[in-house]
Structure 1
Amino acid sequence: MSTEQTTAAEGFSYALTRVLDAPVARVWEAWTTPDQYAQWAHAAPGSVEMDVRPGGAWKSTMLTPDGGAFPLTGSYVEVAEPHRLVLGMDVPGRPDPATMSLELTEQDPDRTEIVLRQTSDTAEERDMAEQGSGMLLDGLAEFLADKARG
């Protein structure tokens, strides 16, 4: 996995890159199907809803390692199946949603490069978002490996 951070005039961003042992279509399905997403993204059972189309809403309640629950809501900004997904995430006290982009590129028929990018208002927000995204990618990689073993 590689990590890239920047501090641009318009915000603090990061990009996480990882190669997953699964075809692009399987990675896309894991990210856009509520029951699969809930299994790997540390979501509370039954909390994930997805209307995967531009303008469609999504929501989930994430469970933290210490047992807390963190409700998340937002909408899909861009959906280009199976290669690009841009999510808007509602942030309390912020007028515009934060956005996170996901890009999938086939490395070979059974491997996919995934790049997650997000820009935040502060370095602290960026670091927290990057940590959460890293946990998501860890869960996704484990889920896909378990599915491949089958």
Structure 2
Amino acid sequence: MSTEQTTTAGGFTYTLTRALDAPAVKVWRAWTTAEQYAQWAGAAAGSVEMDVRPGGAWKATMVTPDGGQFPLTGSYLEVAENSRLVVGMDVPGKPEPAVMTMELDEQDDHHTRIVLRQTCDTAEERDMAEQGSTMLLNSLGAFLSPKPGH
């Protein structure tokens, strides 16, 4: 996985790139289907709701490794099936959502490059968001990996 951090006039940005052993359609379904997302993203069972269309809302209650739970909400800002998803995440106390972009680039029928990008207001927010996104990509990669005997 490659990681890039930059600081611009608009804030603090991270970019994560990873190669996945799955076609883009399978990666897209894992990220945009509530049942599949809940399986790999660390969400509480039954808490994920997704209306994947521009302006559609989403919500999920994430479970931390120590058992804590925190609800997340947001909306879809841009949806290009099997290629690009721009997600707004509501941030308590902030007027504008945090925006994360997920892009898929299918390398061949069995491999897809995924790129996650987010700009935050502070280096601390960026580092926390990047850590969370790295955990998501690790879980997604494990979820999509071919299982022995299948």
* Fold shared by both chains (TM-score > 0.5): yes
In structure 2, the residue matched to 1:123 is 123
- TM-score (norm. length: structure 1): 0.97
Give 1:67 deviation, angstroms: 1.1
CA 1:21/1:129 → structure 2, altered by over 3 Å: closer, same or farther?
A: same
Query: In the alignment, does 2:94 pair up with 1:94?
Result: yes
- TM-score (norm. length: structure 2): 0.97
In structure 2, the residue matched to 1:39 is 39
In structure 1, the residue matched to 2:6 is 6
Give percent identity, aligned residues only.
73
Instruction: Quote the Cα distance in structure 2 between the aligned partners of 1:117 and 1:94.
Output: 20
Q: Deviations over 1:40-74 (max 9, x none)?
A: 00000000000000000000011111111111000
Instruction: Quote the Cα distance in structure 1 between the aligned partners of 2:147 and 2:111.
Output: 14
Give 1:147 deviation, angstroms: 5.8
Pairing of 1:1-150 with structure 2 (within 5 A):
1-146=1-146, 150=150
Count of matched residue pairs: 150
Gaps of 5+ in 1: none
Q: Deviations over 1:4-59 (max 9, x none)?
A: 00111110010000000000000000000000000000000000000000000000
Give 1:146 deviation, angstroms: 4.9
Tell me which stretches of 4 or more aligned residues in structure 1 moved more than 6 Å.
Answer: none
Instruction: Quote the Cα distance in structure 2 between the aligned partners of 1:149 and 1:29.
Output: 23
Provide the secondary structure at the position in 2 that maps to 1:13. Answer: strand
Gaps of 5+ in 2: none
Instruction: Quote the Cα distance in structure 2 between the aligned partners of 1:64 and 1:14.
Output: 22
Instruction: Quote the Cα distance in structure 1 between the aligned partners of 2:91 and 2:147.
Output: 33
Counterpart of 2:68, as a letter, is: G
Provide the secondary structure at the position in 2 that maps to 1:93. Answer: coil
